[in-house]
Copies of this chain bind each other. A is one copy, B any other.
Amino acid sequence: MSAALDPVIHAPNRLQMCCMLAAVDTIDFATVREALDVSESVLSKHVKTLEEAGYVKVKKAASDGRQRTWLSLSKPGREALKGHLAALKAMMAGVPEA
């Protein structure tokens, strides 16, 4: 059996966030928030969900004097995302013209 969908990653906002994080080394909270277009509370909760799953690492560091929150995908997070995307691809595989 191939990998199954990971519910922690599958939620639309988290999926988008994970894909964003996978593309870079680190991004800041605000940038992700703008990309997802959600409230701070919502992003904060999604980050927490991913952090508790061990998928993202959170680091607080200053930038321009102000303190910012930096996010990055952990190694397990990258693995989980890879598995999730593999499962998605497996499903798509049988779909014509897709």
List the interface of chain A (C-beta within 8 A of B): 5, 7, 10, 12, 15-16, 19-20, 22-23, 81-82, 85-86, 88-89, 91-92, 94-98
* Identical chains in the assembly: 2
User: Which chain B residue lies CB-closest to A95?
Assistant: B22
Given contacts A10-B12, A12-B5, A88-B88, whether A23 and B82 have CB atoms under 8 Å apart is no
Judge whether B19 and A92 touch: CB under 8 Å.
Answer: yes
A-B pairs, top 3 by smallest CB distance, nearest first, are: A23-B94, A22-B95, A19-B91
Give 13 CB contacts A-B under 8 Å: A5-B12, A10-B10, A16-B91, A19-B92, A19-B95, A20-B94, A22-B94, A22-B96, A81-B98, A82-B97, A85-B98, A86-B98, A88-B92
